[in-house]
Amino acid sequence: MAEENIKLDRSSERMDEKSGLWLNVFKRLRKSKTSMFGLFIVAVLVFLTVFAPLIAPHDPIVGQLALRHNAPSADYLFGTDSQGRDVFSRILYGAKITVQIGVISVGIALIIGTLLGVLAGYYGKKIDMIIMRLMDIMLAFPTILLALAIVSILGPSLTNAMIAVGVVNIPKFARIVRSSVLSVKESEYVDAAISIGCTDLQIITRHILPNCLAPIIVQATLTIGTAILEAAGLSFLGLGAQPPMAEWGAMLSDARGYMRQAPWSVIYPGVAIMITVLGFNLLGDGLRDALDPRLKE
């Protein structure tokens, strides 16, 4: 019973330390106006993702050709596109696709990149050399060119575009996780875990990865903005989201031939992409500063 009580006390202490750490992170983040502005943009994007069907005044897919290229008005706040569809409704529904792109593509890069980075950093030697040389080869190609090559092989679709964007961002996570693991594995608590007979899996999952979370979180936040841009670029080229899907890059592609006739059909999707990427970048910069252990209150 005494041993169980000691274990419970230790676990509660760890929980208190973790909650205190994240509370301090939020306090530091709150001091930065730009970071809070980025958090506000991301929160609005998530809100639109959830409530777009309730907010959108019109169907984002079905349009009326008689209403094509109508200027912004009370009925159509952002005007209509070449198919007579409400641009405002398509922007709202496009927010859901944008969040989906960011989460799934970055999730692919994060999981695979973290696994490769841990293997390279923890085991080193030949495994490290093979993995990192592979990452160097991937980094030698321009990101959009490599993504184009992957989508060309898999076929044009939003799913394949997310896979391609995820794959091209794997080296970012692999390199940053490797460097973090190399630093953490030299710590005394890792040596203590080895001395008491902990397995490699236990050491990695309990002692190394939890102490590498800060750079991983920052990198993931910053990469979401990049992933959204890359996926929008693929959709603009016709290799990502396919018509009539309300994706912002595809909307730009559809409207590029009507820039003079209906400039609003180009401006609003472009501004939506710009603001979204700006929000994630500002939030990522703020998290990087808030999670920096060298910064003290």
User: Which residues share a beta bridge with 80?
Assistant: 86
| Residue-by-residue pLDDT tens, the chain, 297 positions | 444 444 434 444 444 455 556 677 777 778 888 989 999 999 999 999 899 999 999 999 988 888 899 999 999 999 999 999 999 999 999 999 999 999 999 999 999 999 999 999 999 889 999 999 999 999 998 888 899 999 999 999 999 999 999 999 999 999 999 999 998 888 888 888 888 888 888 888 888 888 888 889 999 999 999 999 999 999 999 999 888 889 999 999 999 889 889 999 999 999 999 999 999 999 988 888 887 655 544
Q: What is the mean pLDDT of the chain?
A: 87
Q: pLDDT at position 12, please? A: 44
Q: pLDDT at position 269, please? A: 94
Q: Is 68 left (phi over 0), alpha (psi -120 to 50) or beta?
A: beta
Q: What pTM value is reported for the model?
A: 0.85
The pLDDT tens digits of the residues spanning 116-146 come to: 999 999 998 899 999 999 999 999 988 888 9
Whether a cis peptide bond, with omega within 30° of 0, leads into 57 is: no
**Cα radius of gyration (the chain):** 23
